[in-house]
Amino acid sequence: MSALFEPYTLRSLTIPNRVWMPPMCQYSAAPEGPLTGAPTDWHLQHYGARAAGGTGLIIVEATAVSPEGRISPYDLGIWNDAQVEAFRRLTRFLAGQNTVPAIQLAHAGRKASTDRTWTGGAPLGPDALGWQPVAPSPVPFDAGHPVPAELSVTEIQEIVGQFADAARRALDAGFEVAEIHGAHGYLVHEFLSPHTNHRTDAYGGSFENRIRFALEVTDAVREVWPEDKPLFFRVSATDWLEEGGWSPDDTVRLAGLLEEHGVDLLDVSTGGNAPGVRIPVGAGYQVPFAARVKNETTLPVAAVGLITGTEQAEKILANGEADAVLVGRELLRNPSFARHAARELGADVHVPDQYHRSV
């Protein structure tokens, strides 16, 4: 049997194959009004097409746990019940196509309140649907970005509660997997990395203090997320800084602790916390970071990063470098990547009845 199309079980959930879609922001939610942050027709057709194409699990893009936690005013959110109802339409369709619906719960921290990427992604002020970003420390992301407000301990605990509330709503909306966004320079990552966390209290300084927020969020989500459903955590395995940043060694160390706190799989990415760093981008460039976690811990991992071909994806799994692959850009180009890969490998994959002539 093809490794890529072997089912994968975490807790009581069996995922039909190892071709998964990573969270990729669409910046297509309403920025204001009664359905602010709710998924739209765009999201239904976008995710629905990949489900109909045979993708085993789809992680819906970064979904904010509060209005201030959005990357942009056009991000998805799950802080109210109107959003929950809108998500149900999406999860029903994905589940109906034999695809596991997952959601990434997120807070953008100091990288919040920016425009959509295709219009430049510049910071937005209050006069342009923006707001004041927050962070562990008052350190702006880059030149031209606002100085974020330093979070008080009380505010930190409020955000921990917002993650738990968002997880409850995600369950009510029909999601089978929740993922905590701890990568790409957003709030959880900002606490992890000494590059962005300059605090001197219980949330800063030592490794143990800097991971405190991540573990508190994990515990809060795990407490409300059902025992039989998996919890993922996305991490940037490195800041790509020579010194003073989050490192692969830190990631391995954190992985073991996350497993102890109820995380079932580590979604391993890199970067996003420091602008202007040199990243050696190339085919599968982030896979070695996932492979190291898999080799040095017992926590399952998913690999991501320019995984674009069937043979490449199959080899990553067959070599034991990861337990699943997250196919991003290629799924944007080809919603039926999984079905085409199954045909190449002589494997079976779900095909909608309406597409029976394509088999």
> Which pLDDT tens digit goes with each residue over 165-217?
999 999 999 999 999 999 999 999 999 999 999 999 999 999 999 999 999 99
Confidence band of 358 (pLDDT split at 50, 70, 90): confident
pLDDT of residue 355 exceeding 80: yes
Burial 194-219 (b: 16+ CB within 10 A, else e): bbbbebeeebbeeeebbbbbbbbbbe
pLDDT of residue 359 exceeding 80: no
Instruction: Determine the average pLDDT of the residues in 284-289.
Output: 96
Distances (CA, A) of 303 to 13, 122, 260, 288: 20, 30, 21, 9
> Which pLDDT tens digit goes with each residue over 60-80?
999 999 999 999 999 999 999
pLDDT of residue 319: 96
pLDDT of residue 356: 84
* Mean pLDDT, all residues of the chain: 97
Confidence band of 261 (pLDDT split at 50, 70, 90): very high
**Inter-residue contact 73 to 129 (CB < 8 Å):** yes
pLDDT of residue 59: 98
Instruction: Determine the average pLDDT of the residues in 13-37.
Output: 97
pLDDT of residue 300: 98
pLDDT of residue 1 exceeding 90: no
Instruction: Determine the average pLDDT of the residues in 324-340.
Output: 97
Q: Could you tell me the domains of the chain? A: 3-353 (3.20.20.70)
Instruction: Determine the average pLDDT of the residues in 301-324.
Output: 97
* Global model pTM greater than 0.85: yes
pLDDT of residue 81 exceeding 90: yes
Distances (CA, A) of 316 to 145, 267, 327, 342: 38, 15, 12, 16
- Mark whether 186 is an active-site residue: yes
Instruction: Determine the average pLDDT of the residues in 266-294.
Output: 96
**Catalytic one among 8, 47, 186, 203?**
186
**Inter-residue contact 302 to 322 (CB < 8 Å):** yes
**% pLDDT > 90, the chain:** 98
pLDDT of residue 37: 97
Residues 6+ positions from 259 with CB-CB distance below 8 Å:
297, 298, 299
